[in-house]
Amino acid sequence: MVLAVKAGRIYTPSSLIRNGVVVLGDGRISYVGGDFNKAKDATILEFDDGICAPGFIDLHVHGGGGYDFADGSLEAFSGVCKHHIRGGTTSLLATILSSPIDHTFKVLETFRSIPNTIKDGAEVLGLHLEGPFLNPDMHGAHPVELLQTPSRELIEAFLNYADVIRRITIAPEVSGGIEAVKAFSSKNILVSIGHSNAPYEVVYEAYKTGLRHTTHLYNALGVSFKRGAYRVPGALESILALNGITAEIIADGRHVHPILIRLAVKAKGFRRLCLVTDAMRAAGMPDGVYKLGSNIYGSNAIVKDGISYTADMRFFASTTISMIDTVRLMRSIGYPMRAVLLMASTIPAKLLGISSRKGFLAPGFDGDLVVLDKEFKVLLVTVRGRVVYAENRDFIGLT
């Protein structure tokens, strides 16, 4: 079946097409434009006032719908992916919180047997290890007792899974950190700095050896400090100053003040920033107590009024948001739709090296798209040309 999505506005997002159509066939986009004759043999889904855009790509998400990727089961992976499809996420990196090493390897092994495309859910592009090579002084919601020093043996053990690990977060200042950055980046794994208190010279050395991205900019990152009477840049200022390091932002209206977002945009520009949820298993669930990370080994998090906190209520513990919430927040503080969509889809695809097939609406690209209404409510989501979520239930399963 060939599908055609008609919408009042189509963001490719390099251009805006008014009253256009996107044609999907064999899992890919075959046409984008204003010629409706291209859709004459298709099943047409009409959204006259809708906004059609590339599907969102979340590079940092732990869980949702009551599940966490660190649970390490097909049921958990499926549950998370089915939840986040409702927020417009068509593909993601399954992020694993710091866990016991043996358990982490079990999750890696299990992932090899899990299909990339979850039925009726977002596509899993690979794994993101957020830890265990983090600075204990900046551990945030990670259990400090589960953090590890990146020894050569441990690095080599992880690299046996270089086929599924697409990204890893490392604090380069820990013993062996620079060596870890070099080792993982040499295998084309995206290396991020995070949960770090590194000074400029360490950040720069890590950058020279392969550091390219930043985990949740502003959060769990050290700032400028004094050496004697001399003020020097910390991890945060170093990241903002080095053009070759990109960054992600948790745009939930709580983790980062809008003025700090504006500062990041001024320093980096839209093409070096992306939006992430950092969502945990309580996303889409009622208030209560939930495990952060593995149901077996994770620590407790308290969700109150939809906001997740550590057990002592002193710090945020991930989020309960979806990607559409980040888009809505960025629009509410004044950023143009095209720029926001770059940050939600195009730039994440570029960072993962898949921008030749995702993050853009153009012929030959994967049939991943989202349709929104004027209030940024998700109306339709397709993955590989198949409708996997729709407000109109009659559309579900069309392919």
Q: Do 243 and 263 share a domain, yes or no?
A: yes
Q: Do 19 and 99 share a domain, yes or no?
A: no
Q: Do 15 and 70 share a domain, yes or no?
A: no
Share the mean pLDDT of the chain: 95
In 10 A of CB 261, how many CB atoms? Answer: 21
15-20 average pLDDT score: 97
186-202 average pLDDT score: 97
Q: What is the pTM of this model?
A: 0.96
Q: Which residues contact 10 (CB under 8 A, 6 or more apart)?
A: 16, 17, 18, 20, 21, 22, 32, 52, 53, 361
At residue 116, the pLDDT reads 66
255-278 average pLDDT score: 97
| Given the residues 58, 278, 325, 368, the one annotated as active site | 278
Q: Do 44 and 71 share a domain, yes or no?
A: no
At residue 375, the pLDDT reads 95
> Alpha-carbon distance 45 to 96, whole Å?
37
For residue 344, is pLDDT > 70? yes
Q: Do 106 and 93 share a domain, yes or no?
A: yes
Q: Do 66 and 138 share a domain, yes or no?
A: yes
Q: Do 324 and 235 share a domain, yes or no?
A: yes
pLDDT in tens, 161-190: 999 999 999 999 999 999 999 999 999 999
Degrees (nearest 5) of the Cα angle 345, 352, 239?
Answer: 90
> Alpha-carbon distance 1 to 243, whole Å?
45
335: pLDDT confidence band, cut at 50, 70 and 90? Answer: very high
Q: Do 9 and 111 share a domain, yes or no?
A: no
Q: Looking at this protein, which amino acid is placed at residue 96? A: I
Annotate 282-312 with b (16+ C-beta within 10 A) or e (fewer): bbbbeeeebbbbbbebbbebbbeeebbbbee
Q: Do 12 and 143 share a domain, yes or no?
A: no
The enclosing domain of 160 has a CATH number of 3.20.20.140
* Residue 216 CA: distances (Å) to CA of 138, 169, 247, 273: 13, 10, 7, 10
Q: Do 245 and 365 share a domain, yes or no?
A: no
Q: Do 85 and 153 share a domain, yes or no?
A: yes
Q: Which helix (H) or strand (E) holds 31?
A: strand 28-33
Range of 44's domain? Answer: 3-54+359-395
At residue 392, the pLDDT reads 78
Q: Do 40 and 62 share a domain, yes or no?
A: no
User: How many domains, the chain?
Assistant: 2
Structure tokens at 180: 């870890």
> Alpha-carbon distance 69 to 293, whole Å?
8
Whether 278 sits among the annotated catalytic residues: the reply is yes
The enclosing domain of 36 has a CATH number of 2.30.40.10
Beta-strand pair 378-383/386-390:
antiparallel
At residue 113, the pLDDT reads 83
* φ and ψ of 223, to 5 deg: -115, 180
At residue 280, the pLDDT reads 97
The rounded Cα 388 to chain-centroid distance in angstroms is: 19
